[in-house]
Amino acid sequence: MSELNRFITARNWMKSNENFLTTWHAHVGYKLDLFDCFSKAKSVKQAAEECELSLPLLERWIDVGLEVGHLKKGYKGKIKAKKKLVKYASANSSESVGILLREMMELHIPTLMQYPELLKSDERITYLEDKFADVVAETSSFLEKAAVSPILRTVKKEKPESVIDIGCGYGGYLKNIHDKYPKIKLSGIEINKDVAKKAEEKLNGEITVYNQDMVDFIENYTGKVDMVMAHNLLYYFPVKERKNLYQKIAKVLNEKGTVTFITPLTKAKYGQTFTAAFNTFMTAHENLFPLPSLDEMKEDGKSAGFKVIDAKPLIREGGWYLVTMKKK
């Protein structure tokens, strides 16, 4: 009986890995534009020549694609990508979500694979911010699709005359606010030079983007604004330094000013499987830090004179929340 149970357990583990193969296959296809290459039926040899790829390795990738349902074989054995993959996993598609695959396969999973060594040594690895700046900015842009409408509703309700987005990435939130409310004075802060440059280009020079460290900027900012957006950045700050961050934000806000945070939350109702994995990834680095709970945010915000007025799930599967605070 023990041997039978061992066999069943091994079989179940193998079956569970099929999902990983699906993700791996989609990631390779996205990174090398292979779904776009096979958007029209062609032979494997023709595709290998066009894309300058190893024929034997491409054949194996196609074998997996046929098995997981990403590809189909047609007349004379020619290969064609399923329309869904061309739409959602081609880099050239406006509806692509492939950047999430890249972040998972190139950033998260390699870190988690180092976990046995990290557990034994109690060492941490360094998150290479410059290397992955574009990837993180693009995945943040994807998150914006879920967050833009709630942010615009907040702007409509609070009626700010001025807004600063600290850590603005490509400036997606700023652009959407500007398109809807062109009279609001908007500014963005982005520490990465290349990302800041792309943001300025996307914003057509209509909104100023400062290529600065966000903390340095708000420390030296002499004016006041009605609203601050602080999205996807709490995990860059040690837990003990977050109260200080809230206090700095409070100093640049007018009375009754608003600040919005977007972050995965621990101990929340939704998305705790993803959040647990994301928190594991954070803890493995020396320059990334644990995710907050809503209670921790309330406590830290209270020390700076903020009150949480709303906390809405944006992407339930990922545990991402929009937390809105108001200065008392």
Say whether 216 sits in a helix, a strand or coil: helix
Q: In this predicted structure, what is the pLDDT of residue 72?
A: 97
Counting runs of H as helices and runs of E as strands, what totals does the chain give? 16, 9
Say whether 263 sits in a helix, a strand or coil: strand
Q: Where are the domains of the chain?
A: 2-96, 133-327
Q: How many CB atoms lie within 10 A of CB 27?
A: 20
Q: Which residue has the tokens 């066009």?
A: 50
- Strand stretches in 159-236, DSSP E: 162-166, 185-189, 208-210, 225-231
Name the pairing type of β-strands 253-264 and 306-315: unpaired
Instruction: Count Cα atoms within 13 angstroms, Cβ side, for 252.
Output: 26
Rounded Cα distance between 296 and 302, Å, is 10
Residues in the chain: 328
Q: In this predicted structure, what is the pLDDT of residue 14?
A: 81
Q: In this predicted structure, what is the pLDDT of residue 318?
A: 87
Which residues contact residue 160 at a Cβ distance below 8 angstroms, ignoring those fewer than 6 apart?
184, 225, 226, 227, 257, 258
Q: What does the CA dihedral 105, 96, 166, 288 come to, rounded to 10 degrees? A: -10
Q: Which CATH number fits domain 2-96: 2.20.25.10, 1.10.10.10, 1.10.10.410, 3.30.750.200?
A: 1.10.10.10
Sites in the chain below the pLDDT cut of 50: none
Q: Which residue has the tokens 């061992």?
A: 6
CATH class of the region 133-327: alpha beta
Instruction: Judge contact between 316 and 272, C-beta under 8 A.
Output: no
Q: In this predicted structure, what is the pLDDT of residue 141?
A: 78
Name the pairing type of β-strands 162-166 and 79-81: unpaired
Q: In this predicted structure, what is the pLDDT of residue 239?
A: 95
Q: In this predicted structure, what is the pLDDT of residue 1?
A: 64
Helix, strand, coil percentages in the chain from 3-state DSSP, rounded to 5: 55, 20, 25
